[in-house]
Structure formats: C-alpha cells, structure tokens
Amino acid sequence: MCRRRTTVKFMLMMHAPANAPAGAGLASWKPEEVQRMIKFMKDLNAELTARGELAGAEGLEYPPRPRIVRAQAEGKPIVTDGPFVETKEFLTGYWIVEVPGEERAFEIAARASSCPGPGGAPLNMPIEVRQVMPGPPQ
C-alpha cells in the first residue's frame, strides 16, 4: 500500500552578503544585538517545533574557516579554502521544515528573513527555499 504524503520538506537557507556586518561575524555587533538575534532564532525554532514543522536547524561558521573538499585519486581528500574569494554571498544557516506546502515554507522564510540586526532593524536576509526531494518509492 502506498502512503500519500500530506507534508513536504523544504530546506530554507539563509545567505549573507560577503560584505555585510554579519559577513565579518558578529564581532561588530553590540552584545545586546547579538542576544536579540539569538533570542529571535530560538523563539522561531521553538514555535516551529511546537507546530511539528521543524526537522532541523543550524547556524554555520563564517568565512574564512569553511573549506572545500574534493576527492583525488583513491578517494583521498584535497582540502582548499572556501568559499571562494569571488563569492558575493555565503550560507550562514539553514532550517529543514516539514509543512503542507510551499506557501507555508515561504511564510517561515519571510519570518526568518526579518531577524533583527544592529539597532534592531530587520536584516531582511535572502532565504533560499528548496524542496527536499523524496527518495525513490520502495
């Protein structure tokens, strides 16, 4: 018997411009601004968890620490700096949500985008929304 999915998974990816204050890390923010942003993210995650919509969420490290890895002969890793210098934006965090459809994913993305930044103004960061594709039927 084939079960019909009533929800769809989406990955919501927050991108920061490489030259934005967040791009340099949160070092340029006042401590209370960092705390406001963290509270916002925790509250959003708690709300999504309570609704049964959050499958996972993480913040990601800012450059220059991320690395690019490729396999070389015999599968050994080649590790280089990344993201590349010419990158205009980089991924700062993500959510995996399981919702009825893309409209709800868009609502969540808009809310995440409005995270407060310096001075309390919404950052309005771009949030990329992609459906997580289901695996082949079993």
Q: What is the pLDDT of residues 2-45, one digit of tens each?
A: 555 689 999 999 987 766 544 445 677 889 998 999 999 999 99
Q: Which residues pair with 81 in a beta bridge?
A: 67
Phi, psi of 40 (to 5 degrees): -55, -50
In the predicted model, what is the mean pLDDT of residues 125-132? 93
Burial-class residue 108 by CB neighbours within 10 Å (0-12, 13-18, 19+).
Answer: buried
CB-based contacts of 81, cutoff 8 Å, min separation 6:
64, 67, 68
Every domain of the chain and the residues it spans:
8-60+82-88+96-131
pLDDT-based confidence at residue 79 (cuts at 50, 70, 90) = confident
- In the predicted structure, residue 106 carries a pLDDT above the cut 90: yes
Q: How many CA atoms lie within 13 A of 30 on its CB side?
A: 8
Q: Is 0.85 surpassed by the pTM of this model?
A: no
